[in-house]
Chains A and B, each alone.
Chain A
Amino acid sequence: DADVTQTPRNRITKTGKRIMLECSQTKGHDRMYWYRQDPGLGLRLIYYSFDVKDINKGEISDGYSVSRQAQAKFSLSLESAIPNQTALYFCATSKTGVYEQYFGPGTRLTVT
């Protein structure tokens, strides 16, 4: 079984709708991240969390919010989706003191 899972894997939604992307991990890591990838580009950081009570903005947090429900769960919300939020979204985890990050399979989101 995958160590980092994301749901849904694919989603099509309409402009103005609220949508939540979920990430779960069984690696026992304390740090979790949300990244976004646009076509032809590398990933960019949206939000990150070092533990349940710690949430930090990344470089492109506008239009997004997150919730760390437990050490193993980190959700990303789009309060009112817009077409330029169409992208591939990745969740990642790491362990404090160990810098390597492990990525989930990604969620392909299309906003029409």
Chain B
Amino acid sequence: GIQVEQSPPDLILQEGANSTLRCNFSDSVNNLQWFHQNPWGQLINLFYIPSGTKQNGRLSATTVATERYSLLYISSSQTTDSGVYFCAVGGSEKLVFGKGTKLTVNP
């Protein structure tokens, strides 16, 4: 089945710093989503981005489908950005999740 690898596994930042999270996947996909899991366990949809570039406030994402990777950019990080960021990819049946990047933003 499709494999999803996220890097780095852990990231510690000072408030105000920028960061880039990466997601590599092993096959062509129809769906790629980025999620933020907050400390209470809730999954928050960030982007649906099987290809191209999208921006939402301080967050943006780019997926290069032909090269099978996606990047999530966080600019001017805030303590509320802390949590785990998941990339999930798939087709019509299911999503396969990576193991996530745990982000800690210190004040």
Contact = CB atoms under 8 A, between A and B. Distances in A.
Contact of B97 (A40, A42, A100, A106): A42
A101 B96 CA distance: 12
Contacts of B14: none
Contact of B41 (A44, A56, A88, A101): A88
Interface of B: 4, 30-31, 33, 35, 41-43, 45, 48, 50, 86, 88, 90-95, 97-100
| Contact-residue size bin, chain A (C-beta under 8 Å from the other chain) | 20 to 34
5 contacts: A42-B100, A43-B86, A48-B93, A56-B93, A99-B30
A41 B90 CA distance: 17
Interface in A56-93: 56, 58, 88, 90, 92
B43 A103 contact: yes
Given A99-B92, A106-B41, A106-B43, A41 B99 contact: yes
Main SS of chain A's interface residues?
A: strand
A42 B50 CA distance: 19
A33 B94 contact: yes
Nearest to B9: A40
B72 to A, nearest CB: 15
Nearest to B48: A100
Nearest to B92: A99
A58 B97 CA distance: 13
A102 B88 contact: no
